[in-house]
Amino acid sequence: METTPLNFQKELSVCKDGEDCQENGVLRKGVPAPADKVESGQISNGYSAVPSPSAGDDTQHSIPAATTALVAEVHHEERETWGKKGDFLLSVIGYAVDLGNVWRFPYICYQNGGGAFLIPYTIMAIFGGIPLFYMELVLGQYHRNGCISIWKKVCPMFKGIGYAICIIAFYIASYYNTIMAWALYYLISSFTDQLPWTSCENPWNTDNCTNYFLEGNVTWTQDSTSPAEEFYMRHVLQIHQSQGLQDLGGISWQLTLCIMLIFTIIYFSIWKGVRTSGKVVWVTATSPYIILLILLVRGATLPGAWRGVFFYLKPSWQKLLETGVWVDAAAQIFFSLGPGFGVLLAFASYNKFNNNCYQDALVTSLVNCMTSFISGFVIFTVLGYMAEMRKEEVSEVAKDAGPSLLFITYAEAIANMPASTFFAVIFFLMLITLGLDSTFAGLEGVITAVLDEFPHIWSKRREWLVLGVVIICFFGSLTTLTFGGAYVVKLLEEYATGPAVLTVVLLEAVAVYWFYGITQFCSDVKEMLGFSPGWFWRVCWVVISPLFLLFIICSFLMSPPHLRLFQYTYPPWSIVLGYCIGTSSFLCVPTYITYRLIITPGTLKERIMKGINPETSTEIPRGDIHLNAV
């Protein structure tokens, strides 16, 4: 976007390549330009030049330096910014810390060697996850664009990455909010004197229902089910009315109402932009930590809690020799920090130009990893209590993974604590707030991308754009609200989003580090922060981070997960369907590259060169630069 003061003509004096020059008090920096000409008012290195007056006007006069500085300042005000630094930090933390920190990390940790797992987890975070996290914050803050239009300033040929990210965000919204709808249903059901998943005397219970916590001897057989399991499967999901993916059954009206309420909260939290959502996250991002602390203290006082903690942290050093442990560590830190979803680009684009995003990357990454670690204590103190009550080993109690760990095992433990209603309410409220933060972020990434790509259409109609995105996500969620919706959630989670986003981020890293250039990227960092990244960051960005992503992708392709949920084994055609859904988003990248090469004039070499060189400048939104140039 160009800034033209008054009605002056767009004429610039010529600067020599590689030299800085000054005209009418305006700083301009010259670099070797790409094959095509630089547009008026723009400099090829990404700086925006404020046009100077020329003799073409009826009255010749000069513009004082202070006036040109004022123009830059006015343009800076055009893009919305965070109300304060805390809004940004809490938004990023709320995005990175989600439901996966509560259920996935503890399960992955004890399954892969307990305390020994922290070694590969930390290594993968330092050399893979955090550098990618830092990269996206830098890109977003410097270029100040969403995940689609930013590529015009970086590497235009890879613009399809932005479209792929938006499609992936839609797939995630199609199942992620359904899990929050389950939590909301549990929350509403918790406002009773006796929690409904504590007895076998409800209409949805079967003859196999057996209550562990009844006084006296209880005979447990292979066909026995707990009240919490039947409440989750037969009342909330109603999965017994579905035969599998081939017959999902009808739509649950209860869950439909819950997800409508979820989307209503989402809409009114983000419809006005980051200044609104930045205030909401002060509640939704901080309350989970208060609740986690309460649950941790309560769990630590339960009988048998030490057994769960011991099981959680007991190191199994021989596990470090298994490749699968390192793959799980890499995948966990990647999906926990969340680069590649367009969210960090969007959030950072609303920062002030000289914000210390380096410090932000380190702080938010550390908070995210520590939250995952502490969540393990919250979960396993309760699992130890369950094992103590059942007179079983913790390994037998901790068989459930994913949502079942929260909605069956943990829910059952809470139901048999003193003050069970209170702890159930705050626990499921915590799950909802964790999910809301991530949904705010995911949809904001899409909305920012569309606003920046089509400002002439949507810049004054943000509320309608947000409404349209929310409605599309709601209709996309309908398949997950069916009686067999849990099968769809599992399929989308494992196949439709994971491999696709890994591939997209790998291409993003290659485009930024190799085509845009690590030298130019580090120069951008120095321009913002005043210092250039050291050799550690350069090596990680150019070599280690791409290898980190390639390692996860190859491991997934060589040993794809065998899907099974409850007693249902996914048929082979469903795996093919999952791959097709995942590929549908990734196809945006080669499709756009082909389209770009076709429409660009010139020889093949010229087309490629134009496709990998920035075509649009990046504006420096700091008025003080112009003032210092006087």
Task: Grade residue 366 by pLDDT with cuts at 50, 70 and 90.
Answer: very high
**Radius of gyration, CA atoms only, the chain:** 27
Residues 108/332, Cβ–Cβ less than 8 Å: yes
**Alpha-carbon distance 43 to 471, whole Å?**
41
Angle at 513 between CA 163 and CA 160, to 5 degrees: 15
Least confident segment among 3-7, 286-290, 584-588, 607-611: 3-7
The pLDDT of residue 255:
95
Max Cα–Cα distance, the chain, nearest Å: 101
Nearest to 267 by CA among 76, 427, 54, 467: 467
The pLDDT of residue 323:
82
The pLDDT of residue 114:
84
The pLDDT of residue 272:
86
Which of helix, strand or coil describes residue 196? coil
Angle between helices 518-529 and 130-143 (to 10 degrees): 70
The pLDDT of residue 454:
92
Query: 449-473 burial by CB neighbour count: b if 16+ within 10 A, else e?
Result: bbbbbeeeebeeebeebbeebbeeb
**Alpha-carbon distance 550 to 555, whole Å?**
8
Asked if residue 368 has pLDDT above 60, the reply is: yes
The pLDDT of residue 351:
92
260-272 pLDDT per residue, tens: 999 999 999 998 8
Nearest to 64 by CA among 48, 53, 76: 53
Higher pLDDT, 347 or 563: 347
276-293 pLDDT per residue, tens: 888 898 998 999 999 999
**Alpha-carbon distance 330 to 327, whole Å?**
5
Instruction: Give Cβ neighbours of residue 615 (< 8 Å, ≥ 6 apart).
Output: 34, 36, 152, 153, 156
24-64 pLDDT per residue, tens: 333 444 344 444 433 333 333 333 433 433 333 443 443 33
Residues 198/231, Cβ–Cβ less than 8 Å: no
Asked if residue 482 has pLDDT above 50, the reply is: yes
Other C-beta atoms closer than 10 Å to the C-beta of 286 total 14
Task: Grade residue 515 by pLDDT with cuts at 50, 70 and 90.
Answer: very high
**Alpha-carbon distance 266 to 436, whole Å?**
7
77-111 pLDDT per residue, tens: 468 888 888 999 999 999 998 888 888 888 888 88
**Alpha-carbon distance 233 to 487, whole Å?**
12
**Alpha-carbon distance 154 to 489, whole Å?**
35
Q: Strand runs (DSSP E) across 506-592, as ranges?
A: 564-565, 568-569
The pLDDT of residue 130:
94
Residues 12/24, Cβ–Cβ less than 8 Å: no
The pLDDT of residue 215:
54
Task: Grade residue 321 by pLDDT with cuts at 50, 70 and 90.
Answer: confident
Task: Grade residue 217 by pLDDT with cuts at 50, 70 and 90.
Answer: low
The pLDDT of residue 210:
81
H/E stretch holding 28 reads strand 26-29
The pLDDT of residue 77:
45
Token reading at 97: 């810390």
Asked if residue 123 has pLDDT above 60, the reply is: yes
580: left (phi over 0), alpha (psi -120 to 50) or beta: alpha
Bridge partners of 42?
48
**Alpha-carbon distance 147 to 122, whole Å?**
28
Whats the size of the chain, residue-wise? 630
Asked if residue 135 has pLDDT above 60, the reply is: yes
Token reading at 612: 């990998």
Token reading at 188: 């509403």
**Alpha-carbon distance 353 to 333, whole Å?**
28
Break the chain down into helix, strand, coil percent, rounded to 5: 65, 5, 30
Bridge partners of 23?
26
**Alpha-carbon distance 110 to 334, whole Å?**
19
Query: 421-434 burial by CB neighbour count: b if 16+ within 10 A, else e?
Result: bebbbbbbbbbbbb
**Alpha-carbon distance 398 to 411, whole Å?**
13
Summarize the confidence of residues 586-610 as an average pLDDT.
Answer: 92
Summarize the confidence of residues 457-482 as an average pLDDT.
Answer: 93
The pLDDT of residue 559:
78
